[in-house]
């Protein structure tokens, strides 16, 4: 039964999110609803999934599945999250030339972009609250690390690995 739940949950995640960070709220809701992990554990897997090669959805599905039901669970969750993308890509490949200059498709994509930005903003706010606030009190050392890392990232146009390294060093210093 757990294998079917993992497959179904991550199939829904694959269908109802647009990939990348927009998957985080949907993953969070599904994982918490079934009690597979806590909010802090979800934030940890998101951080790990962002740092490791591969898609956020696949990495999260693999980790949640493995943690919940072993290797078979990780396979079920991973196949579930991949199935919508694979199916849609195969269908899109068949019709891509026909829709290449379709104004309705362009208009639909123009409507999807702001929704994705709103979902990313929502994820950012949830992550800020769960990371920087503990029992209603701001964790000022973590706020300082966040601000310094953001300033350095934007001022010096740091790459993702350099930003992660800087945040880790600041965490060792101020954490």
pLDDT tens digit sequence for 2-15: 999 999 999 999 88
Q: Are residues 36 and 66 in the same domain?
A: yes
pTM (global) more than 0.75: no
Q: pLDDT tens digit string along 157-167?
A: 999 889 989 99
Instruction: Give the residue carrying structure tokens 């146009």.
Output: 157
134 assigned to some structural domain: no
Q: Are residues 67 and 149 in the same domain?
A: no
How far apart (Å, rounded) are the C-alpha atoms in residues 143 and 129? 11
| pLDDT > 90: percent of the chain | 39
Q: Are residues 38 and 91 in the same domain?
A: yes
pLDDT category, 96, cuts 50, 70, 90? low
133 assigned to some structural domain: no
Q: Are residues 158 and 110 in the same domain?
A: no
Instruction: Report the alpha-carbon angle 167-39-169, nearest 5.
Output: 10
Q: Are residues 146 and 69 in the same domain?
A: no
Q: Are residues 67 and 109 in the same domain?
A: yes
Query: Residue 84's domain spans which residues?
Result: 2-128
Q: Are residues 172 and 113 in the same domain?
A: no
Q: Say how many domains are in the chain.
A: 2
How far apart (Å, rounded) are the C-alpha atoms in residues 110 and 95? 20
């Amino acid at each position: 039964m757990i294998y079917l739940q993992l497959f179904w949950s991550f199939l829904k995640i694959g269908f109802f999110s647009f990939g990348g960070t927009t998957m985080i709220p949907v993953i969070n809701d599904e994982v918490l609803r079934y009690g597979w992990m806590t909010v802090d554990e979800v934030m940890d897997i998101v951080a790990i999934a962002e740092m490791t090669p591969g898609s956020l959805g696949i990495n999260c599905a693999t980790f949640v599945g493995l943690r919940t039901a072993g290797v078979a669970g990780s396979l079920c969750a991973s196949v579930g999250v991949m199935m919508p993308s694979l199916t849609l890509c195969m269908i899109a490949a068949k019709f891509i030339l026909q829709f290449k200059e379709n104004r309705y498709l362009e208009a639909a994509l123009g409507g999807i972009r702001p929704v994705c930005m709103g979902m990313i903003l929502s994820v950012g706010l949830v992550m800020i609250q769960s990371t920087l606030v503990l029992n209603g009190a701001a964790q000022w050392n973590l706020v300082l690390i966040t601000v310094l890392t953001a300033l350095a990232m934007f001022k010096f146009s740091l790459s993702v690995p350099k930003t992660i390294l800087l945040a880790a060093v600041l965490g060792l210093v101020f954490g």
